A and B are shown apart, each in its own frame.
Chain A
Amino acid sequence: MRPTDLTLAQGLAALERREISALELADAFLAAIERLNPRLNAYITVTAEAAREAARASDARRARGEAGPLEGIPLGIKDLFCTEGVRTTAASRILGPFVPPYESTVTAQLKRDGAVFLGKLNMDEFAMGSSNLTSAYGPVENPWSRANDPARRLVPGGSSGGSAAAVAARLAMGATATDTGGSIRQPAAFCGIAGIKPTYGRCSRFGIVAFASSLDQAGPVARTVEDCAILLRSMAGHDPKDSTSARLPVPDFRAAVGRGVKGLRIGVPEEYRLPGMAPEIEALWEQGLAWLREAGAETVPISLPHTKYALPTYYVVAPAEASSNLARYDGVRFGLRESGADLKDLYERTRARGFGAEVRRRIMIGTYVLSAGYYDAYYLKAQKVRALIRRDFEQAWSRCDAIVTPATPTAAFAMDERQDDPVTMYLNDVFTVTANLAGLPGLAVPAGLDSQGLPLGLQVIGRAFDEETVFAVGGALERAAGFTAQPGIMA
């Protein structure tokens, strides 16, 4: 087996048995990046020398008997995580040459556990998008393509499109990602890999470029559910630098993956059966539920009555928070500066030039819904509907232990499809956004292929801080699906 074919769990085992060194592993992935990144554009920055140096240090630690839980594992880092001494762009022009003087807590913990960073991964600008088309560093190509139209380039989803494409194409063993409305789960589903958005508060947000602070959560993407569980254990944990991070112990998520689903009640929300939903998606959902029943779970119909209001709620709350968070990009303290006649002119020119069209649209919406006279009608109203969405889930948990839905309403679409209307693009997140609004964990698992050979995913949503049950259900789905298909472009 070639080193890039190893799952993260297999890579750890091979390193432990000294069948491969961290340096050999890093070199194999760096060679794959050199060959395929010019086409896929998954990485914005490749830190080859730093990766080799970190790999050598990792091999030395292992030789001394000081191996950490991720010792020698090569990872890609979404370019939303601040990495000390390594340029961090959020895929925006406005951050320009910004080099963080500090490290995000999540990446610091991955380093603490021995991981080797290969570079910084492309994404939608400020994590705003579902296609990776809004990146100032160009779009990422999905390594998968349609059987009947292989030349047509597809999107990897977004916003963590670089993370998902890199893992699917074997340009990293796993990657960090973030999810505000579906930005881990939708690209994972589009690229045929697994990804989990943990409970709000499970991972520290310190050092992650902020988009919508009450919705943003970090999580891993990787090729298997088990690999995600291994990564999440290192990424999670209380951090005094993030006042919203939970003071809870971090469970052994990996142990939960094989736990089985016997006796679990799996909720099936009626409201997720959208009119006009692709029959293939509906069939895969039914198949997933049948697999879980065969594994000993019970499926129960549930109702989440406010589901249809989740996306409009999100598109008030998220832009409102974004317009506040992005006020800091003023051309004064870091990043891009456009000169102006006076200070206000400097601000306005810097922000108009530095932000892309989608980011500017969201800042405008957010500023409007927070402005005097509109705050109650839009922002306060959305916060109340958000409370009702959370209550829907609280009531559902009396009837079920986890909820299973499709991850996305369609398979990956082409780069030249549906860019015209912002609202159509927003509908990509229809199945994922509810978990962000309610603060709950959600996992995407690759479960099948559509008639064009494109991957489709299922989503598992769990109770707050019960990622273990989510992993157990995800593991059962993964074992039953036996997803072994591979993308056309792969190291």
Chain B
Amino acid sequence: MSTATVSSTDQGFSLLRLWRNKESRSVIIQIITVAVLFAFFAFLISNAATNLERIGKNYNFAFLWEASNYDISQTMIAYTSQSSNFQAMIVGILNTLMVAIFGIITATLLGFFMGVVRLSNNFVANRMVYCVIEFIRNVPVLLHIVLIYGIVVNVLPHPKAAMNLADTFFLSNRGLYFPAPEFGDAFIFVTISFVAGIIGAFLFARHAHKVQDDTGKALPVFWASLGFIIGLPVVVYFISGMPLEWIPATQGKFNLKGGMPLKPEFLALWLALSVYTACFIAEIVRAGIVAIDYGQTEAAHALGISSGRSTQLVIIPQALRVIIPPLTSQYLNLTKNSSLAIAVGYMDIMGTIGGVSLNQTGREMECMTIVLVLYLAMSLMISAFMNWYNSRIKLVER
């Protein structure tokens, strides 16, 4: 009962008893774990402190505000070599986000397309896509990146002889040049009408839902939304006197001028990541749709739902439940794999703050801390978003 009465000779006995008791043992184990971990981290940190002191370094982030002294070829914000390391880091973050978002979009589209072809009963297309998927999946993504980069840089022609599509798009070993948009003053109306179109489509969908609930009549939501989101801005665009001009690049003597370039590094990374991830997504999509029992399709047909509608209303919602969790991890993988940019010199987080900045300032500890924190934050955000989406479409059980 009370520990005060336990004499010193019983001490060993009571410790043994504590160990034999399941609850108290678990508490002891946990205390020991915490103590050991604490000691371990204290050991690591004290080592780091001694080592840093020995070579005369300290741990502070003041270098972030000093000039970075290096150039970055593809930036989305104003940046020169006189900008600070912090700005370089921001450029890196934006570049990582850009390749990740572009990659996720193309990988999803391509992956769903290949997954559907894999499900079709067309023998030749099915087998062909199967071979492509198996080959690409079983080769490291880094190899894809360096291979595509090699093709872009070595095989594509010089800017002088750039592949030219209707004087609008230019493909050369300096990258792919899109025409650059030039917005007139009246373009703001088009933007406003686009936002209004989205709101209108949303309201119409709600209205259509209500009408269907009340009367059973299905309104053409898809075409109406298309009209709202695409049609309205197009009409406004023409009414306001076409305030948007596309200015293509022009071929100079040695290089292409103007336009909106996608650099070879970006192209290689983007293509390689999209194709590689698309192959995994294709298999996920296929598995997700195959997982839906054929009885569901039959039941939908028995209820008189048309084939297209049954896919849309019965099969896809159920397949998504199977597809979303592994799809999330593919998105995460793509984002993390974008750090392989360093192999081709695309300046993402790893290339700026974890690469050139690290080498020039010699602040390994600080730079790597920033890199780890940034990637961790990004991964947590993507998985939080996908968890939210997953819980929205989850099967609601009684």
Co-complex (A, B)? no
* B residues adjacent to A (C-beta < 8 A): none
| Chain A interfacial positions (CB closer than 8 Å to B) | none
